[in-house]
Amino acid sequence: MNASPTTGKRRYSRSVRRAVNSGHVVFAVGLLGVEWVMLLIAVVARSTDDPALRHGAYQLMRIFALAGGIPFAVLSLITGVLLCLRTPWGLWQHLWIKIKIVLLIAVIVAGAGVVSQFAHRMIAASASGGDADALPPLQTWHLAVVIFQLLALIVSTALSVFKPSGHRGRGRPRSGRHTDGPPRARRASADAAGEADPTGAVREPAAAGRPAPLRSSSSPLSREGSS
């Protein structure tokens, strides 16, 4: 897969790109935190013997899912797509971006269609006079879905950090001589290439083990001095 920037493509300005990128990071990290809290609440509600605490935990879990998990997931997906569309990465050019989008959509579907419904049914089952026999299987399935969401977000975060399809290219290299490396190496490269000395003389290519001789420049000033 090509990791080089797409030429002729409109880009965000630096300030807009940083703002969108900051929002994406905030929403993604916030979603990961919400899922961790959801897992802790599910473990506490499953392990406690206090019916009132269990019922309150499931009520709090539903609030977290509707007010925190789903909005953060949707906003994280939107900002991620905006970044892909207006940056050299592209939306559908790299495998790790495709996996991230699929995982995030799966987290949204699981949160909106499964976790919220499980929480609603567990609230009814854990209430006073509810069907207590239906609660254990609901707890098991709900815990499995929350663990899946948390693992999907961890994998998505790791893909964002490591970018396994390769680093983004920075365009074509600039034309001209190579100037990387320490000053001594650059001077040696200039000597070997026969470049002009700052004093106006031209340095001939150096022979092995001997300094490169200088030959006088043929500038008008030197010709006048010789005459």
Phi and psi at residue 201, to the nearest 5°: -85, 160
Helix, strand, or coil here: 36?
A: helix
Q: What is the pLDDT of residue 221?
A: 47
Q: What is the pLDDT of residue 184?
A: 54
DSSP state letter for 197: P
Q: What is the pLDDT of residue 209?
A: 53
Give burial (CB, 10 Å; 0-12/13-18/19+) of 60: middle
Distance (Å, whole) CA 77 – CA 150 = 16
Phi and psi at residue 196, to the nearest 5°: -75, 140
Distance (Å, whole) CA 188 – CA 184 = 6
Q: Cα-Cα-Cα-Cα dihedral of 35, 40, 44, 47, to 10°?
A: 100
Regions of the chain where pLDDT drops below 70:
1-10, 165-227
Distance (Å, whole) CA 94 – CA 135 = 43
Which pTM was predicted? 0.62
127 sits in which H/E element: none
DSSP state letter for 196: B
- Token pair in block for residue 182: 């320490």
Distance (Å, whole) CA 159 – CA 161 = 5
